[in-house]
Chain A
């Protein structure tokens, strides 16, 4: 660990060494300034969002529907929609993604085919979200005839998150040293017994972190759901967690922010700020949770 942040000790101070030290301080200041240029505007922007929107955020705002052409009222239908999109899509992509990663990392023989698959999975993680939207439209809405619906949008989102879950799970599995597996195989344990007994319990923190991070990503995406199931407005019952059906279209927080900002005229100034703040708050809370889970479980590492 190159933890040495102390200045280099000079035994003979000469103008040369003093100049070197000064150059070092300048270098440090310049790089620190670069970081500040990123962090400070970020804090200012987030602060501005919260300041402008906070006045509207009440319990009623979160639990009642929009009224008056979405200029007044709350955002309940959008929150519920986002909730279901996230839940359904992760219920599909997390189990399949994790098990697929187990297959790729623990079972698959190393040949050109698996190398192509791995390459495909990793690079799919970088596909633009609008291309996912095109895929979802062409495949789920049209080809499989699901129409624009929560199920089509959720499937689109799950295909978007699956490659990332596979990649992060594979990374967590590979972090378990090979000699543990070999020691188990030597005693006559099967591949699955080894995975269940040693590999999975010791990679669960990495796997969990990867899945939690996809929760926030799913909640924040707009393009993939815009053409596959999310709508500007839909009236649903308040207070009912199951107000949406799988075949219904839905509102969503990300979509609602887009709608109110670009489609609704004469909206009160604070409204889009409030929506943005709620969405941002949700996303940042989930990510912080993932970070906390990661460092807590990392502290309990067993080797």
Chain B
């Protein structure tokens, strides 16, 4: 095989993310109890579950920002493209391959342009000739360009909530991630903006793998190929979304949660 082709074949057949027996403890309290699952390239995986189930913690384990919280212990293995993430020397490179969108919109106290240029600059890209079209592309992908194209110099913190959330998405896209993680992104924004972003996600899946943590079961139903029901740090069920949201999922607790009987 031609050089590079072997990697390409491997990339096409290896799952994008493999989680093997992941355990997470905050101090002495274990919050994720040895879960295992895989995510295929270019799929949209939904993760649903009640609060405090470990959804956010799981994402933070994947991009290793869990390390910034003192007192945490991680067991088990997470692989991206087959490589063990905990053994990667360049953790910053790993975080650049993963885009993260937090529940609350965060506009950095910089200009809108600098908000989106922050990550490329941190990675060493300083050339204005590259940055300007790149920033525009990311803002377009986040469905924000038209609203801010005339005021790229204004402060990111002065935008509305919905705009700041789209700015966060633009920032997440600015370092060209292979995996995009969204953590309840629509909590603080209005339904119209949510719909626009959902359309964006449907487009983005062609280029990347998407993990969508959400409390809106309808949202998972609309977007996700497969959905995982995570409860109290354990995977109750992981299946195609059509099964999870049907009248006959494999686990009764899934049906109860989806239909609002608890949670």
Question: A and B: partners?
Answer: yes
Contacts of B65 in A (CB 8 A): 182, 185-186
Interface membership of chain A positions 190-215, coded 1 if the CB is closer than 8 angstroms to chain B and 0 otherwise = 10010001100010000000000000
Contacts of A183 in B (CB 8 A): 102, 106, 108, 168, 171
A197 B157 Cβ-Cβ under 8 A: no
- Which partner residue on chain B sits nearest A196 by CB separation? B122
- Which partner residue on chain B sits nearest A197 by CB separation? B118
B119 A188 Cβ-Cβ under 8 A: yes
Contacts of B227 in A (CB 8 A): none
What is the interface residue range for chain B against chain A? 20 to 34
B residues 97-111 with Cβ under 8 Å of A?
99-100, 102, 104, 106, 108-110
With contacts A109-B70, A110-B70 known, is A188 near B175, CB below 8 A?
Answer: yes
What is the interface residue range for chain A against chain B? 10 to 19
A182 B174 Cβ-Cβ under 8 A: no
Contacts of A188 in B (CB 8 A): 92-96, 119, 122-123, 175
Quick check: is B258 within 8 A (CB to CB) of the other chain? Answer: no
B122 A180 Cβ-Cβ under 8 A: no
A190 B109 Cβ-Cβ under 8 A: no
Quick check: is B63 within 8 A (CB to CB) of the other chain? Answer: yes
Cβ distance B171 to chain A, nearest Cβ, rounded Å: 6
- Which partner residue on chain A sits nearest B94 by CB separation? A188
A193 B122 Cβ-Cβ under 8 A: yes
- Which partner residue on chain B sits nearest A303 by CB separation? B157
- Which partner residue on chain B sits nearest A198 by CB separation? B108
Quick check: is A36 within 8 A (CB to CB) of the other chain? Answer: no
A302 B155 Cβ-Cβ under 8 A: yes
A185 B122 Cβ-Cβ under 8 A: no
A189 B122 Cβ-Cβ under 8 A: yes
A189 B68 Cβ-Cβ under 8 A: no
CB < 8 Å neighbour of B108 from A109, A180, A193: A180
Contacts of A198 in B (CB 8 A): 108-110
Distance, CA A179 to CA B155, complexed state (A): 16
B residues 225-262 with Cβ under 8 Å of A?
none
B residues 45-101 with Cβ under 8 Å of A?
63, 65, 68, 70, 92-96, 99-100
Distance, CA A54 to CA B95, complexed state (A): 66
Distance, CA A303 to CA B108, complexed state (A): 9
CB < 8 Å neighbour of B119 from A110, A180, A187: A187
CB < 8 Å neighbour of B68 from A180, A182, A187, A202: A182
Pairs across A and B, CB under 8 Å, 6 listed: A186-B63, A187-B119, A187-B172, A188-B93, A189-B119, A198-B110
The 3 A-B residue pairs whose C-beta atoms are closest, nearest first, are A302-B109, A188-B96, A187-B119
